[in-house]
Structure 1
Amino acid sequence: MSIQETMDDFLEMLKEQTKECPHLMELFTTCYTNTLDTTVKRMENNTTHVITGDIPAMWLRDSAAQLRPYIFLAKENEEVRELIAGLVRRQFFCICIDEYANAFNDSPSGACWEKDDPNQNPWVWERKFEVDSLCYPIQLAYLLWKNTGCTTQFNEDFQSGVQKILEVFRTEQHHEEKSSYRFCRHNGYYRDTLSRDGKGALVKSGTGLIWSGFRPSDDACTYGYLIPSNMFAVTVLGYLEKIERKIYGNGEIAEAAKALKEEVHTAIETIGKTFTEEFGMVYAYETDGFGMYNLMDDANVPSLLAMNYLGYPSDKEVEANTRRLLLSEANPFYFKGAKAAGIGSPHTPSNYIWHIAMAVQGLTTGDREEKRRILENMAATTGGKGVMHEGFCCEDDTRYTREWFSWANAMYAELFLNYLGYTLDK
């Protein structure tokens, strides 16, 4: 059966389940088919290149999130399985080129967002080091295997890339002393570069946390220990341990992943939390290890709001306290207006809410009616375009950023499926 036939059958089945909300189903159909129709390119080397939307490059993070909802189709269709496996293979091919880069070209064209380094690798679109960029490919590889049994993503590049990832994580636990990574972008916005000649704000080494230069928004971290990304690392290191034992039979890498996972988890639960008068003990968004904390959340995933979605083994009381903080005006990037209330980002203008954050709010609640309310609100804030955007003004959804943003479309699709009871085995 072709991808189109499998897609048509799936959509027809969903229509039968959603007769009471055809407008939500119509938006789902647009969002769900958009990524496959517009962003996916099959390469001659049996890999899959996925652009982020209106930018012609592949982000390791975005591309994994964009194809994740198609794992449901992959259960029924081998071609879809290979499409996703091909993305994993390409992601690890890219990681083997440069483990510190976040976005790549489809060829060694030299195209880039900015020529930050005169010797920049021509495959690299941008070289912002973000911990989550190395987590997403492992997550996608694991979820594809766990839910469909597919193993073609586990090739030599996967193993080489995994060793690079573990090495980077270990190095960046001691960023001050051991890391040679630097990032300087000249004549730009301050969130687009790192202080101290590209080294970033000072952090305390040896805490067990992994340093990240940038957030998943591609904005520079205020404090170098980004807690949501470390939470994500805990989860994927657990996935990696299982992959190495079951697929490769490599006890050495499995034990290394397990030990690092436990180290990072202990560090988060020890120094990644702080006490607040209003909410009690909460998880911080960032810390420097010296006692400075940044209490906020950003719409991009990984976020604190997404910790349960990511599978982080949190302290449930602290998680609940943190959620209350994040969905209140104590979070400086929580906005309320005539059109919606939700989390935005310093990456976009003040009072702009992100559809991604709205989807995460829905995916992390156990209340089915809240999921439905959020889906309705997302559908009502497309600015008349019938697709999801990056951020939109909470007072006027016709004011938005990024007309074409595939990750946001994927997140609406994922929440819609979750509302209907579709979940992935983890």
Structure 2
Amino acid sequence: MGFPTSVKDHPVVERAVRCLDDLGDPRLGETLVRCLDDTLARTIRALPDGTAFVVTGDIPAMWLRDSSTQMMPYLALLQEDTGLQELLLAVLRRQFRYIALDPYANAFNAEPDGHAHDPDDLCANPWVWEEKYEVDSLAFPLLLAHRFWAATGRTDHLAGALRTARTVIEVWRREQDHEGLSPYRFRRRDCPPGDTLAGEGRGTPVGRTGMTWSGFRPSDDACRYGYNVPANLCAAAALDGVAELAGAASDLELTVSASRLAAELRAATLRHGTVRHPEFGLIYAYEVDGLGNALLMDDANMPGLLSLPLVANVSPTDPVYLATRRFVLSPANPTWYRGSAAEGIGSPHTPDEHVWPIAIAVRGLTGTSRAERVAALRTLLATDAGTGQMHESFHKDDPGRFTRPWFSWANAMYAELALDVAQAGTRPLWDSTPR
């Protein structure tokens, strides 16, 4: 059976489009269908082994994080749709194989052809497009595996998921003592500072905190300080899911191991990853080093501080999150911009004064009212520069100045938000707010 290439006639999508049409702009539903169909028709490649390779869009490689987020909207469509279920299983199995090949890599090739972002990087594995170690690259496939199980009840991916989880736990445990135990190095020559690691590839110095170290952010930019706070909380949430999956498989040892590490990461992050801000009170830092340094900002990519309720099992009413949210959505955050076209969070990865559609969608999805989600959806539609697609970023005053004409992750976030507005999404279990 081939993988689906369109969901235009899917009952859930048809109901969502009708609901969005009631908001008075047919483009809302049309863009939902376009974004969902674009991912299916243009980014997915069936491989001979029955797995699926997923490009990010205009880059011919498969990112572990991006391919997970690209699949997330389809979780709401899985009931009685075996074609979509088989597609997500195929993506998960491909992700599990990649993690087994190199758990420190963030992006891979469809074949071992040696293609790479930079052929001079240290990594010589021909499967690896790029070996920027990011905690979230390991967390997101585990999140997807758990959410797939919760949505379908299927267990035919559990063996691979639990095998992968053991590998991930081993890496995250090792990277709790990066200075003493880690073999990982990343050096790139003749590049911007954010594209390589200091200290001969080891990264800037860190002290042991109980958090797990990350070389790079979800943006693929180097961490200034080695403990990325949202990535650690996202890892803890992924481990919560692993514990549930292991429980379903009666694997007591893995249940205990995952639960214990999740608790350690949360406790360490609350102790070392929070700071008291003179205006906002106790908030999460974006990065810390365990040596007294903290970076106060947010990045538009997920996991970021704004997205903690979506990817880290943090309640949207948690006082520390609410204080952090106020900081993130204010001029105190150096990556927050307000312009004539939109306001929102950007990233050091893209030009100054550029807002990310992903962050606009996240703001809506983590808001406490339907009106806020509808406003975010309308903003996304108004800033697509007439292309019918979401972009990586756009200038706050001119959406026609954008980066990446084809960025499937951003399309997926529009779809997530649109399905949520249409009451067809898969909201996290913590969320009891009215739709």
Going from structure 1 to structure 2, the CA distance change for 1:317 and 1:158 (only over 3 Å counts) comes to: closer
- Name the structure 2 match of 1:83: 87
**1:204 correspondence with 2:207:** yes
Q: 2:100 aligns with which of 96, 103, 113?
A: 96
Going from structure 1 to structure 2, the CA distance change for 1:254 and 1:5 (only over 3 Å counts) comes to: same
Q: How does 1:162-177 map to 2 (within 5 A)?
A: 162-177=165-180
**1:18 correspondence with 2:20:** yes
Contact 1:6 1:76 in 2 (8 A): no
Q: 1:113 aligns with which of 103, 112, 117?
A: 117
Q: How many Å separate the matches in 2 of 1:94 and 1:318?
A: 36
- Name the structure 1 match of 2:141: 137
Q: How many residues align?
A: 423
| Deviation sequence 1:67-116 (CA, Å, 0-9, x none) | 11011222221111010011111101000000100000000010000124
Q: How many Å separate the matches in 1 of 2:107 and 2:54?
A: 11
Q: How many Å separate the matches in 2 of 1:326 and 1:153?
A: 37
Contact 1:244 1:250 in 2 (8 A): yes
- Name the structure 2 match of 1:290: 291
Q: How does 1:211-230 map to 2 (within 5 A)?
A: 211-230=213-232
Contact 2:327 2:333 in 1 (8 A): yes
Once the 2 structures are TM-superposed, how far is the Cα of residue 7 of structure 1 from its aligned partner? 4.1
Scaled by the length of structure 1, what TM-score is found? 0.96
Once the 2 structures are TM-superposed, how far is the Cα of residue 153 of structure 1 from its aligned partner? 2.1
Going from structure 1 to structure 2, the CA distance change for 1:220 and 1:119 (only over 3 Å counts) comes to: closer
Q: How many Å separate the matches in 1 of 2:131 and 2:54?
A: 18
Q: How many Å separate the matches in 2 of 1:400 and 1:171?
A: 39
Q: How many Å separate the matches in 2 of 1:381 and 1:271?
A: 38
Going from structure 1 to structure 2, the CA distance change for 1:141 and 1:222 (only over 3 Å counts) comes to: same
Going from structure 1 to structure 2, the CA distance change for 1:187 and 1:324 (only over 3 Å counts) comes to: same
Contact 1:359 1:374 in 2 (8 A): yes
Q: How many Å separate the matches in 1 of 2:17 and 2:240?
A: 37
Once the 2 structures are TM-superposed, how far is the Cα of residue 422 of structure 1 from its aligned partner? 2.4
Going from structure 1 to structure 2, the CA distance change for 1:148 and 1:7 (only over 3 Å counts) comes to: farther
Q: How many Å separate the matches in 2 of 1:267 and 1:295?
A: 18
Once the 2 structures are TM-superposed, how far is the Cα of residue 44 of structure 1 from its aligned partner? 1.2
- Name the structure 1 match of 2:419: 417
List structure 1 segments (4+ residues) > 6 angstroms apart after TM superposition.
none
AA at the equivalent of 1:266: A
**1:127 correspondence with 2:128:** no
- Name the structure 2 match of 1:259: 260
Per the alignment, in what secondary structure is the counterpart of residue 278 of structure 1?
coil
- Name the structure 1 match of 2:358: 356
Q: How many Å separate the matches in 1 of 2:322 and 2:345?
A: 17
Q: How many Å separate the matches in 2 of 1:88 and 1:236?
A: 14
Percent sequence identity over aligned pairs: 44
- Name the structure 1 match of 2:235: 233
- Name the structure 2 match of 1:304: 305
Q: How many Å separate the matches in 1 of 2:60 and 2:156?
A: 27
Going from structure 1 to structure 2, the CA distance change for 1:372 and 1:5 (only over 3 Å counts) comes to: closer
Q: How many Å separate the matches in 1 of 2:423 and 2:203?
A: 43
Once the 2 structures are TM-superposed, how far is the Cα of residue 325 of structure 1 from its aligned partner? 0.4
Q: How many Å separate the matches in 2 of 1:306 and 1:172?
A: 24
- Name the structure 1 match of 2:325: 323
Going from structure 1 to structure 2, the CA distance change for 1:353 and 1:118 (only over 3 Å counts) comes to: closer
Moved more, 126-135 or 20-29: 20-29
| Deviation sequence 1:331-359 (CA, Å, 0-9, x none) | 00000111000000000000000000000
Contact 1:7 1:73 in 2 (8 A): no
Q: How many Å separate the matches in 2 of 1:407 and 1:355?
A: 10
- Name the structure 2 match of 1:396: 398
Moved more, 106-115 or 69-78: 69-78
Q: How many Å separate the matches in 1 of 2:274 and 2:151?
A: 34
Q: How many Å separate the matches in 1 of 2:375 and 2:155?
A: 38
Contact 1:238 1:257 in 2 (8 A): yes
Q: How many Å separate the matches in 1 of 2:277 and 2:58?
A: 40
CA RMSD of aligned residues (A): 1.5
**1:31 correspondence with 2:35:** yes
AA at the equivalent of 2:175: E
Going from structure 1 to structure 2, the CA distance change for 1:228 and 1:118 (only over 3 Å counts) comes to: closer
| Deviation sequence 1:244-296 (CA, Å, 0-9, x none) | 1103x211111111110111111111111100111111110000112211010
Scaled by the length of structure 2, what TM-score is found? 0.94
Per the alignment, in what secondary structure is the counterpart of residue 198 of structure 1?
coil
AA at the equivalent of 2:92: V
Q: 1:181 aligns with which of 181, 184, 198?
A: 184
